[in-house]
Structures are given as C-alpha cells and as structure tokens.
Amino acid sequence: MRDAKDGDVSGIMEKPTALSHIVVSQGYPGTFGKHRMQPWVENVNEFLRGEGFAIHLFACGDNNLCFTEKQAIFNISKRLVGLSDQFSPVAVTRAFLDEKPSVAVIHGLQHLLTLFSMIVYFFRRVPVVIIVHGLYISDSILLSVRDFLMKSLLYVFRRYYSVVALTDYDRKLLEEKWWIPLDRIKITKAFLYVNKTELDKLHQIENSEIKTILERQKTPVFLYVGRLDHDQKRVDEIVKTFYRFLKLRHSNAELMIAGTGPLKSALSRIIAELGMQDQIKLVGSVTEEEKWLHYLSSRALLLMSKFEGMPRVIFEAFAAGKIVIAPDVCGLSEVIKSGVNGFLFKQDEEVPRLLEKIASNGQFLQIMEEATQKLTRMVFTSEKGQKELKLILESQM
C-alpha cells in the first residue's frame, strides 16, 4: 500500500489487508455491569471492519478488559497514575513499530499516550484522525506543560492530521486554545449516535417488556445513568435537588440512579439521612437490557454536571423517546432544544420547577416524547456516522 504522500487514495478503503490503529487514551468504568469500550470506539470498529480493515487497539487502564470481545488485536499500557503514564515498553513499542497501519484513529488530546503516538505516526508517515470531545483547560502546572507540548506538536504537524470535533464548542476550543487551523477540523456527532444493533435491542425490549414498562410508567420516574462522582457529575446535588422537589409537591415520584463510582457510599448515607430510601434508589451497575428498561420506564433523564463533553446517555435517552433535563454548559445546547426534546437550565434552583412541569403534564410530555423518538430513530444511527467517517478518512488518506 502506498503512503499518503504518494497522493493515490484509490482503492484504499477496499483493501482487505488494510490496518487501522485505534488509540484510546482513557478508561471506561463498568457502569453497566462490565467493562466495555467507549461507544464511539465500538461504532468506529464496526465501520472499519466493514471496510476491510484489521484493527489494533492501544489502551490504558480498564479498557483492556473488554477488547477481546470486539474482534480486535489489542496492546495495553499499564494503569495510568498522574503523570507517570508508564507504558508496557515491549508491547507498545512492538505494536507501534511492527506493521505499518493505513490510518490511525486517536481519541483525545490530553494524554501522554496521544503525544507518544503522534510522534511515532509522524515519522512513519501514517495518516492520523484525532477524535475530540469534552476538552478542558488544566489548572495543574505539570499537566499544562503536557498540554503545551501537545499543542506545539499539533502546530508543527498540522498538515499531517485531521481533528474531528464532536461539538461546535469543542471546535471553538480547538481553534482558540489548541492552535489548530480551522481547515484541519471536521465536525460530526456521528460517533455518539446509537447504532443499529443498539436500536434493535431497544425495540426488542420495548416489545417484550411492554406490560412492565406500562406498569412502571404509572409512577413519575426520573433517571440518572452514569458515573457516581461529585467533581464532574454532581450526583449528590441531583439527590438533594430531587429531595427538594419531592418536598415541594410530588411525594410519589421516584429517582433511579444507575451506575457506580467513588460517591456510591456517600450517596447511600445522604439518601438514608433524608429518609428517601423509597423514593431515591441506587440500582448500581446494570446490564444493557436493564439499562434500556430503565430508560423506557422513566419520564426523563436528569443531569446536573459541572461540565460535559457530549454524554452518550443523552443519545440513549433520545433513542428511547425520553427527554433530557441538563445544565446549559459546554455544547449541550447543540443537541438539547428546550421544549422540544428536553430542557436546559442555568441555575440549580430551576430544576425542581422543571421536574414539576414534567411530572404534572402528561399530555405535553407525550408530544415531546413522540417527536423525540421519531427524530432520533431517523437521524441518530450509525449509518449516518459511517458515511461521515468514510469521507473524513478518505480526505486524510
């Protein structure tokens, strides 16, 4: 296969021996009962395999526990702690330097694994596509040095890669804070979409569990799905805000919290102190089937994060026909339209009123749900993502 510098990309996507490296620079906690790759990785893998690529994955930490299920050869670095980022030298070096890949797909900028792989791919003349969402500016001096090195590298190598931003908010940060020329940035939310396999599973559960779903829907249930922490997700604030809502009027409403994380014990204590064990329930890690059943049985997904990229749970809720209540931060307004498929709030004090509106107005909610589900199932599928990814890869290669 020719290098990208030869300028001939004809047939590159069809070659059955084409190789792709995917570099995943962060772990994915076992929120749903087992470790899994991030959904965007699963969608990209599915697409690349369909185009005839063999796949090598590079990952850190918990991601390594699930790769063998996804038909990929994988190479693992050691668990990352702070700036130590200790790679397994033999495995990583051998994998990066053995067979030359046709393309490299990298997730995330703010990681030493990204910095290392970018240098290797530059000297090997390998086309690179970097997928970015949830950017932040670090307050740590050491991490800021790492980011500065990465920014400098990206500026020097700016002709040899494309960056895919998942929101306009990320695009703005890439241009203003990361010195990346606008013509190197592509924008797509395709990697976050619910794919056909997931939609088929959702439809199956919806049909087979309809009696259970209808019975559960008699009670106004609000849902949180994700990691249990305070610094970003502020799940403890969700609990306290929901308590204020219950005291306001709706004593029969419930909050279901699906997921696990460092805040789990503290949440149990807070719920017990408030005497809300019957109304606020920690269900812990759940299976994929249980997750979809929770979505289908709820009134809305509730988020109160301090900051966000573009959470996959939003698209999962949309696929189940559920609206989303979320803070107006980062790029969330790009997919959540107040009064159409959800509600955005600027202050925590607004949330009880929004919960009241949803719990009390069933007809209004039903109209929103039907519109959300119809639009989502037409648009938020991996077929759209595959077309966009193919164009991006072909333009880079």
Q: What is the mean pLDDT of residues 74-97?
A: 48
For residues 13-25, average pLDDT: 61
Q: What angle do CA 125, 384, 365 make, to 5 degrees?
A: 135
> Would you state the pLDDT for residue 355?
93
- 323-327 vs 221-225, strand pairing mode: unpaired
Other CB atoms within 10 Å distance of the CB of residue 379: 12
CA 96 to chain CA mean position, Å: 26
Tell me: pLDDT of 77 over 50.
no
3-state secondary structure of 107: strand
Sequence-distant (≥ 6) Cβ neighbours of residue 1 within 8 angstroms: 12, 15, 17, 18, 102
d(CA 201, CA 48): 22
Task: Read off the amino acid at residue 239.
Answer: V
The residues with which 24 forms a beta bridge, in sequence order, are 59, 107
pLDDT at 221: 94
Q: What confidence score (pLDDT) does residue 207 get?
A: 94
Q: Is 370 buried (19+), middle (13-18) or exposed (0-12) by CB count in 10 A?
A: exposed
For the ranges 5-14, 84-93, 211-220, which has the lowest average pLDDT? 5-14
Per-residue model confidence (pLDDT) at position 50? 79
**In the prediction, which pLDDT does 19 show?**
78
Residue 136 in contact with residue 110, Cβ under 8 Å?
yes
User: What's the fold here for domain 4-193+382-396?
Assistant: Rossmann fold (3.40.50)
pLDDT of the residue at 147 = 80
pLDDT, residue 32, reads 45
Residue 68 reports pLDDT greater than 50: no
pLDDT bin (cut points 50, 70, 90) of residue 10 is very low
Select from 34, 21, 4 the least CA-distant residue to 113: 21
Q: What is the average pLDDT value for the chain, to the nearest integer? A: 77
Q: How confident is the model at residue 249 (pLDDT cuts 50, 70, 90)?
A: confident
Q: Residue 331: its pLDDT value, please?
A: 82
Q: What is the pLDDT of residue 397?
A: 66
Tell me the CATH class for 196-379: alpha beta
User: pLDDT of 107-139, one tens digit each?
Assistant: 777 777 778 788 888 888 888 888 887 665 555
Domain boundaries, the chain: 4-193+382-396, 196-379
Angle 314-394-199 from CA coordinates, rounded to 5° = 30
Q: In terms of C-beta density within 10 A (0-12 exposed, 13-18 middle, 19 or more buried), how is residue 30 classed? A: middle
Residues 6+ apart with CB under 8 A from 372: 318, 321, 322, 323, 340, 341, 342
pLDDT class of 244 with cuts at 50, 70, 90? very high
Q: Are 114 and 25 in contact (CB under 8 A)?
A: yes
CATH topology agreement for domains 4-193+382-396 and 196-379: yes
pLDDT of residue 12: 40
pLDDT value at residue 325: 96
pLDDT single digits (tens) 344-396: 999 999 999 999 988 887 766 777 777 777 666 666 555 666 677 777 777 76
* CA dihedral over 279, 283, 284, 288, signed as positive or negative: negative
Confidence (pLDDT) at 148: 85
Which residues neighbour 43 within 8 Å (Cβ) at sequence distance 6 or greater? 190, 191, 193, 195, 382, 385
Among 1-15, 30-44, 269-283, whose mean pLDDT is lowest? Answer: 1-15
**DSSP states of 299-366:** SEEE---SS-S--HHHHHHHHTT-EEEEES-TTGGGT--BTTTEEEESSGGGHHHHHHHHHH-HHHHH
Sorting pLDDT into bands at 50, 70 and 90, what band is 250?
A: low
What is the average pLDDT across 278-286?
A: 92
Question: Tell me, what's the pLDDT at 215?
Answer: 92
Structure tokens at 309: 């990229």
Cβ atoms 275, 239 nearer than 8 A: no
Query: How many whole angstroms separate alpha carbon 318 and alpha carbon 256?
Result: 17
pLDDT, tens digit (0-9, with 9 covering 90-100), for 174-221: 888 888 888 888 888 777 778 778 888 998 999 999 999 999 988 999
